[in-house]
């Protein structure tokens, strides 16, 4: 019986997902927990505990794990295996590789979640037949991963393709989570769409309009969520549709910049905002992208791997670690 496994971990803003997979990349068992941000060591402790629990389920000695791949939002110092002031986690530093290497006596590699997702797309998803592939997530934040000429881009610190921090507004009307102004993510990500709507409607006289956004403006957009905007648009509210269209135009600027930089054949799209509103997010991008890029427009589609793409990428990376060990 093949008793050899690797571990994949996806650290998100809300959840930590941990999965044990076999050498073909099939998940054998998995679990997810709300992220522990009580201290710098909270996340690594949590991964260790969950891993021991999953191994117990399989009656498997965790010391036999053949590699651990961890994917997380950045920024990170990949060589030191830690997150450094991550934009979605309220901690200054999150050490990951060292404590887990010590606990399980195996190689650990930390990669950016966008990098992980594009790797998953290439190994198991819509990108299997492509050498030039970009993945873009439109979620709490906006991130990306790039494979060019069949080569995974990683970068000096592991932060290649941080596309959400492309500057799309030279006037810098809105401030990004990273502290800088005018970044794509500050306008079109899940956490910032409410601020974008508030800004757009700031000086607009809504008198006489019967849009549900009038009431939201009266309450200064308290408790207003991106899903409310998309829900109003789906119900045919004109004002909401205009705002969704404007978000689509800004997304098209972002996708066009990605197309200029990497000349991909395919861009796959994931993340909660896109997965929950595939037409309202993708259609305006497809319609407007050629206004902003001179390069041939790539195919654009939703990732078939849905919300598990980052986890599958982490598993693929752990398998690479194992295979490299094997060759030594
Ligand atoms: Zn930024």
Asked whether residue 13 carries a pLDDT value surpassing 90, the answer given is no
d(CA 262, ligand 1 centre) in Å:
20
Tell which CATH classification among 3.40.390.10, 3.30.420.40, 3.40.50.800, 3.40.50.1370 matches the domain 126-304: 3.30.420.40
pLDDT band with cut points at 50, 70 and 90 for residue 1: very low
Q: For the ranges 36-50, 81-95, 254-268, 288-302, which has the lowest average pLDDT?
A: 81-95
d(CA 13, ligand 1 centre) in Å:
16
| Domains 6-112+308-327 and 126-304 equal at CATH topology level | yes
Per-domain boundaries in the chain: 6-112+308-327, 126-304
- What would the mean pLDDT of 162-181 be, rounded to a whole number? 94
d(CA 216, ligand 1 centre) in Å:
27
- Cβ atoms within 10 A of the Cβ of 39, count? 10
pLDDT band with cut points at 50, 70 and 90 for residue 159: confident
| Strand bridging mode 68-72 / 6-11 | parallel
d(CA 175, ligand 1 centre) in Å:
8
- The upper half-sphere exposure of residue 246, i.e. CA atoms within 13 Å in the direction of its Cβ, equals 14
d(CA 177, ligand 1 centre) in Å:
6
pLDDT (tens digit, 9 = 90+) per residue, 67-94? 999 999 888 999 999 999 987 788 999 9
d(CA 167, ligand 1 centre) in Å:
8
CB-count exposure of residue 169 (10 Å: 0-12, 13-18, 19+): middle
CA distance 156 to 138: 24
pLDDT (tens digit, 9 = 90+) per residue, 237-286? 999 999 999 999 999 999 999 999 999 999 999 999 999 999 999 999 99
Per CATH, which fold does 6-112+308-327 belong to?
Nucleotidyltransferase; domain 5 (3.30.420)
């Amino acid at each position: 019986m093949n008793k050899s496994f690797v571990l994949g971990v996806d650290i998100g803003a809300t959840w930590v997902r941990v999965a044990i997979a076999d050498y073909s990349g099939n998940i054998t068992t998995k679990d997810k927990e709300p992220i522990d941000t009580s201290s710098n060591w909270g996340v690594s402790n949590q991964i260790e505990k969950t891993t021991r629990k999953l191994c117990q389920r399989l009656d498997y000695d965790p010391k036999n794990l053949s590699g651990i791949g961890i994917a997380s939002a950045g920024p990170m110092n990949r060589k030191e295996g830690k997150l450094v002031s991550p934009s979605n986690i309220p901690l200054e530093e999150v050490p990951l590789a060292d404590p887990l290497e010590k606990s399980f006596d195996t190689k650990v590699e930390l990669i950016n979640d966008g990098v992980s997702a594009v790797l998953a797309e290439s190994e198991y998803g819509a990108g299997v037949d492509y050498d030039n592939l970009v993945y873009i997530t439109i979620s709490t934040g906006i991130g990306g991963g790039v494979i060019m000429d069949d080569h995974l881009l990683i970068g000096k610190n592991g932060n290649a393709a941080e596309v959400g921090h492309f500057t799309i507004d030279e006037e810098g009307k809105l401030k990004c989570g990273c502290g800088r102004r005018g970044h794509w993510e500050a306008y079109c990500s899940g956490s910032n769409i409410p601020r974008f709507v508030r800004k757009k409607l700031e000086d607009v006289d809504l008198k006489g309009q019967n849009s549900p956004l009038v009431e939201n403006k009266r309450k200064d957009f308290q408790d207003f969520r991106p899903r409310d905007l998309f829900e109003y648009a789906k119900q045919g509210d004109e004002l909401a549709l205009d705002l969704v269209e404007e978000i689509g135009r800004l997304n098209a600027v972002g996708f066009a910049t990605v197309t200029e930089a990497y000349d991909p054949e395919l861009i796959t799209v994931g993340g909660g905002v896109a997965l929950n509103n595939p037409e309202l997010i993708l259609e305006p991008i497809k319609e407007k992208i050629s206004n902003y890029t001179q390069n041939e427009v790539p195919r654009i589609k939703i990732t078939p791997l849905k919300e598990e793409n980052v986890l599958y990428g982490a598993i693929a990376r752990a398998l690479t670690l194992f295979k490299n060990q094997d060759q030594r």
